Amino acid sequence: MLELVVTPHRRFKDAIYEQLARIGKAASAPKRLELLDLLAQGPRTVEALAEQAAISVANTSQHLQVLRAARLVESEKRGLHVEYRLADPAVGQFYLQLRQLAEGRLLEVDRLTHDYFQAKGVLEPVAAEELARRVTAGEVTVLDVRPEPEYRAGHLPGALSIPVDELKARLKELPKDRAIVAYCRGPYCVMAVEAVELLKKKGFVAHRMEQGVLEWRAQGGRLEGAQVSP
């Protein structure tokens, strides 16, 4: 039986791939991917992330510690709370590319998405390019239905902020003579779906935009917001 000789070259390769695997291990839990998606919208406290990801604060903190150990997120003490943010814009791009790879290789992703949005009657989202044209031409009202902190962290140019849970009480702020395009956190976010459902019931012409700020910026679109560089 041949004896395996571990050369310096082999030790180097093994060590490098071990470090690369830290990213894969950190991103291997579904809830950690959701946390990265949420943090791509803007900084969050542990409590806010727990509420939006529908898990306990303790579990959220554990997931964040794993992401932090892999240098994917950073934290900062803010009074009585700890606020997390993505460690680098490249982390957001990593999440986006991972999602796009899954969409291209896993038929289940398309089936789950199709079935959900078909049931909601909103299978026809407005493409980013078409939205850009309509915004420039003044043909639509762009509605950001995410929580206000996300809007402040960065939003599409000219977008009006009305969080989805405030929409019913603020319908008078929206014009009825132009179509409304609602967006939230990207193709799997349901807030824009809820907004479009409500708007259509109230007589508005409304559409869902599939892209969120992460996708918009990745396609070269400009964002407005205090925490967004030009």
Residues taking part in catalysis: 184
Q: Tell me the sheet residues that pair with 78.
A: 81
3-state secondary structure of 183: strand
Nearest of 226, 181, 223 to residue 92 by alpha carbon: 223
Distant-in-sequence, close-in-space partners of 122: CB < 8 Å, separation ≥ 6: 193, 196, 197, 208
Lateral strand order in the sheet of 44-45: 44-45, 81-86, 73-78
Burial of 193 (0-12, 13-18, 19+ CB in 10 A): buried
Q: In whole angstroms, how far apart are CA 173 and each of 67, 139, 143, 167, 203?
A: 40, 17, 11, 9, 14
Phi/psi at 101 (5° precision): -65, -45
Residue with tokens 């894969």: 24
- Inter-axis angle of helices 30-39 and 46-53, nearest 10: 120
